[in-house]
């Protein structure tokens, strides 16, 4: 560590987000790193070429642009190394493929991001890996599911769409006793609000597409490993030839600079709306880990430093034959909330969640689940928009 790095290591999160990654002194003082487009890198002589005896050797193996982002992520995650991949989904599939082999058994949380489940049920299964889903609330009880060939435990907290919390430290401790690798999809919290490696996780995953991007215009995934797992992750990724593009890497580093202040606003607005929803008669439940009423709230309070801007609520409908019609009426009446997938951008989004894939954490019985991504708009306007949705749903 040089003096600047030492100073930064002790600084607050927004100071670190402003200064981690590239050092302007390395490139003529320009504040941002250069966007290096590269395949070939030249060597000064045959000996250096033979030994790859210089920092950069080929575009797929990193450039000053991708290094700047990887260094920033390592600093945030406390990881030994980070790889960049073209999407958040690839950030899940690449480590699975890097660490698993035919005959292995893998435990995946039932409230997992649906495309992760699809990858497990199709490609992983086809390659001879046995996939088993477990209850997000299982905690140390996961021990009962570990078999002699269990190689990896995949966690995601809060869970996708229904936001179940997981006791990551307890799961990691038990998994490690049995020689399993622990992976966590930490997209919801970002390393600003939760640092998986501090809780025993070996591999931390992010869809940088979400909050690090912040503007709904970039796809990128990051996978960060502790020292014990870094080499195998790097080797697996290198074998597959996957890498992040220089332009996307640049945009994500740019997004990190403002991510702390954006998250503060997402957190505050989402909590205000969640509390307001909780007080309404037409809402059965609000699924937000920062609400004391939410099962798992105690874990969130114990382990997380904050909450981001995405949560769900259950519309109080009761008659299942009306779930879909009321959910659609609600969504169709919204103006500021766009109907779209993904989240983490500056604009609010709403979606009627499909939980048909769940085998353990099943869909609530009271009504349809509507997921809200609270953007950077003014809360009063968002509330008015949601009120139009409730009125439309009531009229069905
Ligand atoms: C969005 C998301 C991903 C995938 O990110 P993409 O870049 O859209 O592929 C992975 N995990 C979680 C939890 C997500 O929400």
Q: Would you put residue 296 in left (φ > 0), alpha (ψ -120 to 50) or beta?
A: left
- CA–centroid distance, 92 to ligand 1, in Å, is 9
pLDDT, one tens digit per residue, over 204-259 is 999 999 999 999 999 999 999 999 999 999 999 999 999 999 999 999 999 999 99
Kindly state the average pLDDT of the residues 290-310. Answer: 98
pLDDT, one tens digit per residue, over 47-101 is 999 999 999 999 999 999 999 999 999 999 999 999 999 999 999 999 999 999 9
pLDDT, one tens digit per residue, over 244-256 is 999 999 999 999 9
Q: Return the CATH architecture of domain 3-255.
A: 3-Layer(aba) Sandwich (3.40)
Kindly state the average pLDDT of the residues 129-155. Answer: 98
Angle at 150 between CA 148 and CA 153, to 5 degrees: 150
pLDDT, one tens digit per residue, over 310-365 is 999 999 998 999 999 999 999 999 999 999 999 999 999 999 999 999 999 899 99
Q: Is 326 within 8 Å of 315 (Cβ atoms)?
A: yes
Q: List C-alpha distances in Å: 320 to 52, 287, 316, 324, 395.
A: 64, 19, 10, 8, 16
Q: Report the atom number in ligand 1 closest to the C-alpha of 160.
A: 13
Name the closest-CA residue to atom 5, ligand 1.
Answer: 88
- CA–centroid distance, 218 to ligand 1, in Å, is 12
pLDDT at residue number 155: 98
DSSP element (H, E) containing 384: helix 379-394
Q: Give CA–CA dist 361/166, Å, rounded.
A: 13
What distance, in Å, lies between the first and last C-alpha atoms of the chain?
63
> Which pairing describes strands 283-287 and 310-315: parallel, antiparallel, or unpaired?
antiparallel
- 3-state helix, strand, coil split of the chain in percent (to 5) is 45, 15, 40
- CA–centroid distance, 174 to ligand 1, in Å, is 27
Ligand 1 pocket, mutate which of 187, 190, 196, 216 (most atoms under 8 A from CB): 187
Ligand 1 pocket, mutate which of 194, 308, 342, 353 (most atoms under 8 A from CB): 342
Q: How confident is the model at residue 37 (pLDDT cuts 50, 70, 90)?
A: very high
pLDDT at residue number 138: 98
Q: What does the mean pLDDT of the chain come to?
A: 97
- CA–centroid distance, 319 to ligand 1, in Å, is 32
Query: Is the confidence at residue 2, as pLDDT, over 80?
Result: no
Query: Is the confidence at residue 1, as pLDDT, over 80?
Result: no
Q: Report the atom number in ligand 1 closest to the C-alpha of 210.
A: 1
Phi and psi at 22, nearest 5°, equal: -75, 150
Q: What are the sequence ranges of the domains in the chain?
A: 3-255, 260-394
pLDDT, one tens digit per residue, over 257-278 is 999 999 999 999 999 999 999 9
pLDDT, one tens digit per residue, over 372-382 is 999 999 999 99
With 0.85 as the threshold, say if the pTM is over it: yes
Please give the CATH number for the structural domain made up of 260-394: 3.90.1150.10
DSSP classification of residue 288: -
Q: Give CA–CA dist 172/229, Å, rounded.
A: 15
pLDDT, one tens digit per residue, over 147-206 is 999 999 999 999 999 999 999 999 999 999 999 999 999 999 999 999 999 999 999 999
Cα dihedral across residues 168, 169, 172, 178: positive or negative: negative
Residue 349 DSSP SS3: strand
- CA–centroid distance, 205 to ligand 1, in Å, is 10
pLDDT at residue number 3: 81
Q: Report the atom number in ligand 1 closest to the C-alpha of 219.
A: 7
pLDDT at residue number 24: 95
pLDDT at residue number 8: 85
Question: What are the DSSP calls for 130-181, one per residue?
Answer: EEEEE-TT-GGGGGGG--TTEEEEEEESSPTTT-----HHHHHHHHHHTT-E
- CA–centroid distance, 189 to ligand 1, in Å, is 13
Which residue ranges have their beta carbon within 6 Å of ligand 1? 87-89, 113, 156, 160, 185, 187, 207, 209-210, 219, 221, 342
pLDDT at residue number 120: 98
Q: Report the atom number in ligand 1 closest to the C-alpha of 209.
A: 7
Q: Is 368 within 8 Å of 350 (Cβ atoms)?
A: no
Q: Is 250 within 8 Å of 35 (Cβ atoms)?
A: yes
């Amino acid at each position: 560590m040089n003096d600047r790095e030492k100073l930064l290591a002790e600084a607050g999160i927004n100071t670190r987000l402003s200064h981690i990654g590239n050092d302007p002194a390395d490139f003529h003082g320009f504040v941002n790193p250069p966007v290096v487009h590269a395949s070939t890198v030249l060597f000064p002589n045959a000996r250096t070429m033979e030994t790859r005896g210089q920092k950069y050797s080929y575009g797929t193996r990193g450039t000053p642009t991708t290094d700047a982002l990887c260094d920033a992520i390592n600093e945030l995650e406390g990881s030994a190394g980070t790889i960049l991949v073209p999407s958040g989904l690839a950030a899940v599939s690449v480590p699975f493929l890097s660490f698993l082999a035919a005959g292995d058994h893998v435990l995946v949380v039932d409230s997992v991001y649906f495309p992760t489940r699809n990858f497990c049920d199709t490609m992983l299964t086809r390659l001879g890996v046995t996939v088993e889903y477990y209850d997000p609330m299982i905690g140390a009880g996961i021990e009962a599911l570990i078999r002699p060939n269990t190689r990896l435990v995949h966690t995601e907290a809060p869970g996708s769409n229904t936001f179940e919390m997981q006791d990551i430290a307890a799961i990691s401790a038990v998994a490690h006793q049995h020689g399993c690798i622990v992976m966590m999809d930490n997209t919801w919290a970002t390393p600003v609000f939760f640092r998986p490696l501090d809780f025993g996780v070996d591999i931390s995953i992010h869809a940088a597409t979400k909050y690090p991007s912040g503007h709904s215009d970039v796809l990128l995934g990051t996978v960060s490993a502790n020292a014990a797992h870094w080499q195998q992750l790097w080797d697996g990724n290198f074998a597959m030839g996957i890498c992040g593009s220089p332009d996307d890497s640049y945009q994500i580093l740019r997004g990190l600079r403002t991510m702390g202040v954006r998250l503060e606003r997402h957190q505050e607005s989402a909590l205000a709306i969640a509390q307001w929803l909780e007080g309404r008669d037409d809402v059965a439940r609000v699924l937000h880990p920062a609400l004391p009423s939410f099962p798992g709230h105690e874990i969130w309070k114990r382990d997380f430093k904050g909450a981001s801007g995405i949560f769900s609520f259950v519309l109080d409908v009761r008659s299942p034959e009306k779930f879909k019609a009321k959910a659609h009426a609600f969504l169709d009446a919204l103006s500021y909330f766009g109907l779209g997938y993904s989240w983490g951008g500056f604009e609010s989004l709403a979606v009627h969640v499909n939980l048909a894939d769940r085998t353990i954490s099943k869909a609530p019985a009271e009504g349809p689940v509507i997921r809200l991504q609270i953007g950077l708009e003014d809360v009063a306007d968002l509330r008015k928009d949601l009120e139009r949705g409730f009125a439309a749903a009531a009229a069905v």
